[in-house]
Amino acid sequence: MTIFSDEYFMQIAINQAKEAKEKGEIPVGAIVVANNQIIAKSHNLTELLHDVTAHAEIQAISAAANYLNAKYLKNCTLYVTLEPCQMCAGALYWSQISHIVCGAEDSKRGYRAFGGKLHPKTTIKYGVLEEECRNLMIEFFTKKRT
């Protein structure tokens, strides 16, 4: 069995973020991996669904839980292009996900800016393909503001 790298999986999350961007959504993508297999892919859908809770992470948590037929995502890894917000961090806390790998940090709206916490057993890694993830956001908002 081939073992894929964090960069490999983050690139797939980036592809999801690009799908969001094409739909006019904020370009955040997420995937959930279990046993080296992608079990959920998602991106922001807040505009399309008219739902402020339809963030990429929330969509990924729901899809992964449905796939596993379980409410907890133990032994799973979330790859997300942007640091989760407070709401998503709360959902990730309750999902008991084992690992989170983030692309870009979000110093303004990320969960750490609000003193948020993750489940004590959850590990988090920052900076995987960070520049590409950050540039997607910069390009999106630059275009939106011009």
The residues annotated with a catalytic role in the active site are 57
Contacts of 131 (CB under 8 A, 6+ apart): none
Distance (Å, whole) CA 118 – CA 30:
17
- 50 belongs to an annotated ligand binding site: no
* 88 belongs to an annotated ligand binding site: yes
Spatial separation of the C-alpha atoms in residues 19 and 2, rounded to whole Å: 27
CA-based R_g, the chain, Å = 14
- Is 102 marked within a binding site? no
The annotated binding site is made up of 55, 85, 88
The annotated binding site for Zn(2+) is made up of 55, 85, 88
